[in-house]
Amino acid sequence: MEKAKEILIKCACWSVGDGKSILVWEDPWVPECPNFRPRPLSEESRNMSLAVNFFFNQEGTNWDNVKLQETFDQDSVKKIKAISVCSKYNQDCWIWTKSCHGNHTVKSVYWTFKSENQLLDRGNTKGNVWNSKLHERLKMHLWRIAVDILPTRIQLARFASNLDIVCPLCELAPESSLHLFQQCPVSQALWFGSPWGLKIANLQFSSPSQLVDFVVRPPHDLFLDKSQQDQFTLYAALLIDYVWSLRNKVVHGGDKPNRDDLGRGLWNRFFEHWSMLSKSDKIPSSYLKEDIHWMRPVRNGIKLNCDAAVGVNGSVVAGIARDWRGSLVFAFVFKVNTNLPIQAEAEALRMAASIVIEHNLHSVCLESDCKSCIDGLLDSNIAVPWQIVNLVKEIRALVQCIFVASVNWAPRRANMAAHTLARWSLESRLYGFFYAFSISPSVMSIILKEGIFYY
């Protein structure tokens, strides 16, 4: 039990809502700080007994930068500013940081224990691999990862010590299976680009077999139903297979994957495999029949596609508003402080909703490719990752202020205009509102293409 207590202390953190219940120095409340506690600028500041809401601006919509700078050290200020302030509709609450949704469930405690104590029945993982509904080739690949016999450079170096062990994709770390499929930036981008917006690096795997276990037996609280779980297992298995093929291409002298092309083809393979599975299972899948492309809003309506691009120092959120003929009405890009992809995606939706209200637009559809944000907005009973719990509540409240509003999930491929705008702006450092005459030609060409061809 002592061990359990230790883990509880390690993983429990306040999620900032109205900031009234959290004491700045006594309580854990900054997720990115060690032990979730910020450091004071000087020991004197520690003597003040303050609640977190003291550091909000007057409107309670953001942090008061001056107050932060006067009280905390530089590093803590940066980490505090990465927390989204959503004080209007939220109270402070406890979160359990090790589970995906911040709920303290038996399963998440077990998961933490399991990874900390490295207890895992490998035989069981293998059994789950063979019992899954995957294609035989994918099963074999997962099984080789689970028993750690995939010929990564670290594995090969055990037999020949003069070999280069660095990861061929990122050249940042030794190439083990766990690095390649979880920690490598290339994999991380792909996991995040999946419909589940997974931040895979946050999960704690201490062996490749745990990663495989996660793929074939994903935690139930990630999904809505069994068919989604099967979709996840298939997508994840294909993703891992895809990373391995990218890596082999580079090893055999091919080019490194280009960031913009990354993941292209993965969706198609997913649909191919899923349609085969559905046929053999007789699952009627409406999911499949949809052709993937941007869809116009209803007549006289406006659709606002949102996306975010994450950089080293903060991120940008972007939105593109088009009318029912597919023409650009306006676009916006603004900077936000977070560099958590899922939080940036939610910030994009919040920004979009605020702009819609400010400009008094009616009949608006907000569209995003972040599955967990949209699922959370559509159904308040669905658990969302703890990093965005308060943001989602605030967005829901904002959307209710719009005369006629809807929210919709679209796959990345149907959200390319907003995606490209965010990337372009992150690189060119241009922010603000954009119109047809001022927007990047790369974005405009996507808007034109989507507007002309898709009825």
Q: Which residues bind Zn ion (CB under 5 A)?
A: 167, 169-170, 184
Which is closer to Zn ion, CB of 146 or CB of 169?
Answer: 169
Task: Quote the least distance from Cβ 186 to Zn ion, whole Å.
Answer: 6
**Distance in Å, CB of 263 to Zn ion, minimum:** 16
Greatest Cα-to-Cα distance within the chain, rounded to the nearest angstrom: 69
Question: Distance between CA atoms of 23 and 29, rounded to whole angstroms?
Answer: 9
Phi and psi of 244, rounded to 5°?
-65, -40
For residue 308, the one-letter residue type is: A
**Residue 318 C-beta: closest distance to Zn ion, Å:** 28
Q: Estimate to the nearest angstrom the gap between the alpha carbon of 145 and the chain centroid.
A: 24
CA 58 to chain centre: 31
Q: Give whichever of 169 and 388 is closer to Zn ion, judged by the CB atom.
A: 169
Closest contact distance (angstroms) between CB of 247 and Zn ion is 8
In angstroms, give the least distance from the CB of 196 to Zn ion: 21
**Closer residue to Zn ion (CB): 184 or 365:** 184
Q: Would you state the torsion angle of the CA atoms of residues 104, 109, 115, 121, taken in this order, to the nearest 10 degrees?
A: -130
Q: Nearest approach, Cβ of 170 to Zn ion (angstroms)?
A: 3
Nearest by Cα to 87 from 172, 21, 186, 12 = 21
Which CB, 190 or 439, lies closer to Zn ion?
190
- In the complex with Zn ion, the residue whose CB is nearer, 100 or 167, is 167
Cα distance between residue 153 and residue 177, in whole Å: 9
SS (H, E, C) 336-381: ECCCCHHHHHHHHHHHHHHHHHHCCCCCEEEEECCHHHHHHHHCCC
Please, what is the minimum distance in Å from the beta carbon of residue 246 to Zn ion?
10
Q: How many Å apart are CA 200 and CA 341, to the nearest integer?
A: 11
Nearer to Zn ion, 184 or 410 (CB): 184
**Phi-psi region for residue 148, left (φ > 0), alpha (ψ -120 to 50) or beta?**
left
CB of 153 to Zn ion, least distance (A): 10
Q: Which of 385, 386, 290 is nearest to 93 (CA)?
A: 386
Angle between helices 226-251 and 208-216 (to 10 degrees): 140
- Tell me whether residue 181 or residue 196 sits nearer to Zn ion (CB atom): 181
Residue 40 or 185: the one with the smaller Cβ distance to Zn ion is: 185
Q: In whole angstroms, how close is the CB of 179 to Zn ion at the nearest point?
A: 6
Which candidate, 143, 136, 138, places its Cα nearest to that of 177?
Answer: 143
From the number of C-beta atoms within 10 Å of its C-beta (0-12, 13-18, 19+), residue 324 rates as: middle
Closer residue to Zn ion (CB): 236 or 321: 236
Give 297's DSSP letter: P
